[in-house]
Amino acid sequence: MPATTLADLFTWGSEGWSKALLLGLAVTLACASIGYALGIVFGFCVALAKLGRSAILRALASVYTTLLRGVPPLLVIFLLFFGTNGALMWIARGFGYTGYIEVDAFTVGVLAVCLVTAAYSSEVFRSAYEAVPKGQFEAFAALGLRPVPGLWTVVLPQMLRLAFPGLGNVWIMAIKETTLLSVISLAELMRVVGLAGRTTGQPFVFYGVAALLYFLLVGASSRLLRTLEARMRWA
């Protein structure tokens, strides 16, 4: 393909696709970041439930993680996309509202990333907790600390340090999961490159650009995570 043609494809103006690609990348990052952050918080709560004394909470948490890890993320996205609206309308009718409720694709995408991230991160947290040496639990008890302060000040920092590499892998997974959101017409990167490829008749060029952008994004994330992990190791 001539260079001038490539230049025309990626101009910043209305005739090119550079702006649309950057906006799609921004949507990808926003969806992955918000969903990941919410999923980490929810996953920590699920891990606490699995490690707690309540048999009911342990069972519910185990069922949740088993289902979300066993069902393909694409199916989770479809179930949320087609089921959320109906569920909200059913709840609203109970309060007397009969209008139509529609959840936008971005919200569904964030929720899908959140739920899948929570399922995997909960196992990371649980494994990290169980990897903390048993002597640490005995140590804070010997110091006269109560269970909650002892767990917070002694066990939790060590648990997070052990969990960090696994949580980094979950972040990479969250980025890749956003590629599936194009099926619900969310204007993330894969949706944009697909539209650009069909419009210009150059799908190989745009999918190649998408591959490069994802590679750079994952590479930058991996480098940052390794740096943070090294600092936590020596903290």
The model's pLDDT over 84-99, given as tens digits with 9 standing for 90+, comes to 877 877 777 777 777 7
Q: So what's the pLDDT on residue 1?
A: 43
Please enumerate in sequence order all residues whose Cβ is within 8 A of that of 168, keeping only pairs 6 or more positions apart, or say none: 221, 222, 225, 229
Residue 187, SS3?
Answer: coil
**Selection from 166, 194, 169, 168 nearest residue 180 by Cα:** 194
Q: How far is it, in rounded angstroms, from Cα 174 to Cα 89?
A: 29
Average pLDDT over residues 26-40: 96
Report whether 32 contacts 175 (CB < 8 A): yes
- The pLDDT of residue 4 is 46
pLDDT digits over 34-68, tens only?
Answer: 999 999 999 999 999 998 889 999 999 999 999 99
CATH of domain 23-234: 1.10.3720.10
* Of 152 and 26, the one with more pLDDT: 26
